[in-house]
Structure 1
Amino acid sequence: MTFDLPRRLAAEALGTLLLVCTVVGSGIMAETLTEDVALALLGNTIPTGAILVVLITVLGPVSGAHFNPAVSLAMAARRALTWRELAPYVAAQVAGGILGTLLAHAMFDLDLLQASTKARTGPAQWLAEAVATFGLLMAILGGLRFREAAIPWLVGLYITAAYWFTASTSFANPAVAVARALTDTFSGIRPVDVAPFVIVQCLAALGAVAAFRWLLRPLPETPVAEALDR
């Protein structure tokens, strides 16, 4: 089944909206319910992984369920998305993410327009984002190659894990980074810290495409190997 571009863009915007709304909203809820930072992070982690499984399962057949400019960039590099469609995809994702932050603020009766004051910067944070994004693309590309039906779970579980083993708590998504700069709550990031995150995420996504293009390409069978198989 093929969907036209407007429907695919609507799916990308909706999916990113609900993803960011979950990230920001669960962070606000967790911060409200406990002063224990570790428990609050757990309360932020589980909903994020869970919503990714739902969103990718439901919206994946429509748009590919990127919800992430770095993923769309990787898909364009693989020619699974045309370069002409990349900019509209990214615009839909960023717009959806911003609306997701505003929706979370509205639900918790907070000021709609905010700017984060939470510092997330430095080489360790940037390295963490490179690892987080590379691993995310590993889950997606490996799933596409070997078990496409498992991709919702692969992505959801990977992000759940990456929240805890990366110093940055695994943004791995330029649209999410932009949207989280607009909330001065648990999940925020200072606007000044966003650009390095976005650059590292995009470079890591392209690096993953190159690495897995090599890694997942089997050797062609030789006549000797074919004879042995018989």
Structure 2
Amino acid sequence: MKTLLPKSFALGFTALLAVACGGEDMQDSLQTQPLVGDAFADRIESFSPGTGAGFGQSQLPGIVLGAPQGAGAGSGSLDVVSLGFNGVIVLEFTDIAVTDGPGVDLLVFENAFIKPSGKPFAETGVVAVSDDGVTWHEFPCASSDVTNNFPGCAGVTPVYSSSASGISPTDPAVAGGDGFDLADVGLTRARFVRIRDSGANGYAGTSGGFDLDAVAVVNGVQLP
């Protein structure tokens, strides 16, 4: 499945600007400049739903492209697609790529929330990044570590950013979602993001597994 149509949301944001060519090192001197385009995935490269998927598929591709539509701490957003058991989706950035900068470089938004009891409800996903769509670098995800709130996984933190809230979707301090640093997997630039349902979630009905809302670049580089 291939498309270039994003959600109807564009964001001019200031991020890390660097020159990166295949096989060459990033520039030593990095400048902060405004980037042209938006900070969100532009295209679905592939989608392989697993058992229990179905929710949101009729609204693809727009439902996972563009900005997140979080519902805050107490409620899971319905602006998502369910991956199902071990389902996998690959998204591509076509105008701005993720680059390794200070702290979090990429945010992944699901629809985790906090139950009335105060306990978190999470559906975990395993995130991997690639610059060419062939060689992948996967972040370790402790999908069975409930005690420590599933370190390294996506689908853990509620999403606060939405078109209604006005909260920036590229500021890790306020946006919600789960942050990933390219340095943790030894990568300097990524144009593709792969999210795989961890296989450790619930899979009843058609809304099983990891529910993807959006992905956003925090530190970015302009693509040619």
TM-score, length basis structure 2? 0.31
Query: Which has the larger helix fraction?
Result: 1
If you compute each CA radius of gyration, which structure gives the higher value, 1 or 2? 1
TM-score, length basis structure 1? 0.30
Query: Which has the larger strand fraction?
Result: 2
